[in-house]
């Protein structure tokens, strides 16, 4: 095979692999990797333990999280992936959520109280679906904002 034929074969195989990568289902249960994670205000809990379960179905996300140390921090919601603002019930801190798929493996998630964005996070799933990182800005109860970077591993 000459060089041009080999190059053509590589281009065709790469093009065929792209749709398969875009179709990765990132549904599953993920657990925090606290040693890799941090908050810019320096108050990242040493015993941080958060489990997040997500299911992607019918262009929606079904989200459930369990914080081992604070049940008040648990969240449950179902939201479309188009950025629509929908109600979040049963949570004292947030009453609205917006989830927008911004790339095949990336999400923008806005957690709000009466239209005020309290947390803006950006999730990037590994292309192989084995984990994700979420980065963002969150507003504390005192109104001060800080950035964070949290890593999660698929269980």
pLDDT at residue 24, as a whole number = 86
> In angstroms, rounded to a whole number, what is the distance separating the alpha carbons of residues 88 and 77?
6
Instruction: Evaluate whether residue 130 is within a structural domain.
Output: yes
Instruction: Evaluate whether residue 13 is within a structural domain.
Output: no
> In angstroms, rounded to a whole number, what is the distance separating the alpha carbons of residues 50 and 73?
10
Tokens in use for 118?
Answer: 């309290």
Give per-residue pLDDT as tens, 106-154: 999 999 999 999 999 999 999 888 999 999 999 988 889 999 999 999 9
Of residues 35, 18, 20, 24, the one with CA closest to residue 153: 35
Instruction: Evaluate whether residue 8 is within a structural domain.
Output: no
Instruction: Evaluate whether residue 4 is within a structural domain.
Output: no
* CA 42, chain centre distance (Å): 22
> In angstroms, rounded to a whole number, what is the distance separating the alpha carbons of residues 11 and 21?
15
**What share of the chain in percent tops pLDDT 90?**
68
Helices marked H in the chain: 3-22
User: C-alpha distances in angstroms, 8 versus 1, 21, 22, 74, 141?
Assistant: 11, 20, 22, 51, 57
> In angstroms, rounded to a whole number, what is the distance separating the alpha carbons of residues 31 and 123?
14
23-27, 51-55, 56-60, 84-88, range with the lowest pLDDT: 23-27
> In angstroms, rounded to a whole number, what is the distance separating the alpha carbons of residues 136 and 148?
5
Tokens in use for 122?
Answer: 């950006």
Specify the higher pLDDT residue, 89 or 109.
109
Average pLDDT, the chain: 87
pLDDT at residue 54, as a whole number = 98
Mean pLDDT of 92-111: 96
Query: pTM for this structure?
Result: 0.82
**Structural domain total, the chain:** 1
Instruction: Evaluate whether residue 6 is within a structural domain.
Output: no
For the domain that residue 98 is a member of, what is the CATH number? Answer: 2.40.128.20
137 forms beta bridges with 120, 147
Task: Tell me: pLDDT of 48 over 80.
Answer: yes
Instruction: Evaluate whether residue 52 is within a structural domain.
Output: yes
Instruction: Evaluate whether residue 5 is within a structural domain.
Output: no
pLDDT at residue 23, as a whole number = 62
> In angstroms, rounded to a whole number, what is the distance separating the alpha carbons of residues 49 and 116?
27
- Give the residue numbers spanning the domain of 108: 24-154
Instruction: Evaluate whether residue 9 is within a structural domain.
Output: no
Task: Tell me: pLDDT of 56 over 70.
Answer: yes
């Amino acid at each position: 095979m000459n060089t041009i034929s080999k190059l053509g074969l590589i281009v065709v195989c790469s093009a065929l692999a792209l749709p398969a990568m875009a179709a990765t289902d990132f549904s599953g249960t993920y657990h925090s990797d606290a040693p890799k994670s941090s908050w810019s205000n320096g108050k990242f809990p040493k015993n941080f333990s958060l489990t997040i379960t997500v299911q992607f179905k019918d262009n929606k996300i079904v989200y459930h999280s369990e914080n081992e140390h604070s049940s008040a921090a648990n969240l449950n919601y179902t939201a479309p992936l188009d950025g629509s603002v929908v109600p979040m019930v049963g949570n004292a801190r947030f009453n609205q959520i917006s989830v927008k798929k911004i790339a095949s493996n990336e999400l923008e998630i806005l957690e709000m109280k009466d239209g005020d964005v309290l947390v803006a996070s950006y999730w990037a799933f590994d292309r192989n679906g084995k984990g994700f990182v979420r980065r963002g800005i969150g507003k504390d109860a005192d109104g001060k904002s800080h950035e964070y970077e949290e890593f999660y591993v698929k269980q």
